[in-house]
Amino acid sequence: MGHLPQPVVAHGDPYRAHSSRKLLPVLLLSLPILALLFHCAYHGYDYGHSANLGQGLEPAAPVASADSYAAATFLYVASYGGTVTTFKLTQKSAAASLRLAPVASTDGCAGSPSWLTLDDANSVLYCTDEGLTTGNEGSLSSFSVIEDGSLVRLDKVRTVFGPVSAAVYGKHGKGLALAHYGGSALSTWDVEDPTAITPVQTRLFKMAQPGPNPSRQEAPHPHAAVVDPTGQFILVPDLGADLIRIYSVLDGDLKLTERDPLFVARGSGPRHLAFADQEEKTFMYLVTELGNTVVGYEVTYDDEAIAFEEVWTSGIHGKGNDVPAGGAASEIRISPDSNFLILSSRNESTLEIPNFDPDNSTAIASDPLVNFAIDPQTGHLDLVQEVPCGGLFPRQFSINKAGTLVAVALQGDGRVVVMERDAETGELGELVAHADIEGEVTAVIFNE
């Protein structure tokens, strides 16, 4: 951190010619004004340098002015360019459009940031580095989330190669589970003290022979780590092995106990999953990357066990609808009210949006977000709409807590976009903000 600015001495000050008796009342009257000026100068300086407190951090850019219409909402965006960038979502008035203003950037998760997990209760952001720049190991970084949106790195540890997903688990969020796609592994970490991350377990997986798709299923490829609604289980969809690995979490113990896996259709390549916790029933939905399907299960619990009954399966565009050649399903999210399911598909390029540059009339090709309504009794899905996601290769996307905004990370275009969403009808609306980012954008999450 730099030194505080030195006080400015005004030359030729007329008060210097007066006697000390006349000077004293003037100084006393001036003290409140001087204190206010110093306070403003100090905090302005402190903000400008707060992003430099951790290793690998760059100075923060000025935030939007204080007359913002909406409460402060930040987005954290990861890129294979080696950065995690903070954007502030602002709105000047109820009628004005939204704007993504860059606040700060850090390379503390470099080389290839792939996933972001926010521990909101403890104001800590975790970032996994997939390790594509090294080819033999990944890393995990923890950051303190500062009120102005900037990040200060707390710790960075080496991991097995290829971490692409992370989930906070355990009592008081003391554990972190990582799925390693490239390293065929699941690792767990003690993050009770995020300044001193320590390993708990590392499970390495093997297969006796390749799966039906040998180019993608030559080895196990865990692609996500997801905690169930009760917090008692961690589920890990394995794209290479065509199964969902299941582990139980014992209260107060970060070590995981392996359960019988949930097998899925051979060659389907399970990628991500999400839970819809209804009032009467709980459903889990799995999206498969190689089969381009969405599979629904009713979830039941008995004697500290978890069980699944398949209740739905269809292509990612709904029953009876084909998936364009080359399509590759990616992310799946459940709305905050558990009434809707949204998934993304890459490499389709079947939709278009107007150019973000008003002076350029060339339309932009876009992949889709596919929106379904969830039947709370049966778990069946009803196609609501397909909308352009704002560009190519929507690797990951997030929904804000109110369910009114969706932020999409566009790996193919190096862009993040924000679209409106009607929380009542579940319908996705217009693109209302965007920002370009150097490198392939891999993840975006809200911090409200």
CB 200 within 8 Å of CB 254? yes
Low-confidence spans in the chain with pLDDT less than 70? 1-71, 92-96
> What is the reported pLDDT for 111?
96
**∠ CA 324-240-398, rounded to 5°:** 60
Strand duo 243-249 + 185-190: pairing: unpaired
Q: How far apart are CA 381 and CA 379, in angstroms?
A: 7
CB 104 within 8 Å of CB 55? no
Beta strand residue intervals within 146-289, DSSP E: 151-159, 163-169, 175-180, 185-190, 198-204, 226-227, 233-238, 243-249, 256-263, 270-277, 282-288
> What is the reported pLDDT for 252?
80
> What is the reported pLDDT for 163?
98
Q: Which residues does residue 149 pair with via DSSP β-bridges, in sequence order? A: none
Torsion angle defined by CA atoms of residues 164, 168, 169 and 174, in that order, rounded to the nearest 10 degrees: 130
Q: What is the pLDDT of residues 272-324, one digit of tens each?
A: 999 999 989 999 999 999 999 999 999 999 988 999 999 999 999 999 999 99
Q: How far apart are CA 194 and CA 175, in angstroms?
A: 10
Q: What is the pLDDT of residues 170-221, one digit of tens each?
A: 999 999 999 999 999 999 999 999 999 999 999 999 999 999 999 999 999 9
Of the candidates 157, 214, 242, 216, the one whose C-alpha atom is nearest the C-alpha of residue 191 is 157
Q: Measuring CA to CA, how many Å separate 111 from each of 31, 91, 105, 232, 420?
A: 50, 33, 14, 33, 32
For 411-429, the DSSP string reads TTTTEEEEEEE-TTT--EE
Q: Supply 203's token pair.
A: 């499970």
CB 109 within 8 Å of CB 78? yes
Neighbours of 336 (CB within 10 A): 14
Of the candidates 350, 337, 275, the one whose C-alpha atom is nearest the C-alpha of residue 306 is 275
> What is the reported pLDDT for 38?
41
| Topology classification of domain 61-447 | Methylamine Dehydrogenase; Chain H (2.130.10)
For 334-372, the DSSP string reads E-TTSSEEEEEEES---EEE--SSTT--PPEEE-EEEEE
Of the candidates 182, 313, 177, the one whose C-alpha atom is nearest the C-alpha of residue 246 is 177
- For the chain, domain boundaries: 61-447
Q: Measuring CA to CA, how many Å separate 13 from each of 9, 16, 17, 31, 312?
A: 9, 6, 8, 16, 81
> What is the reported pLDDT for 97?
77
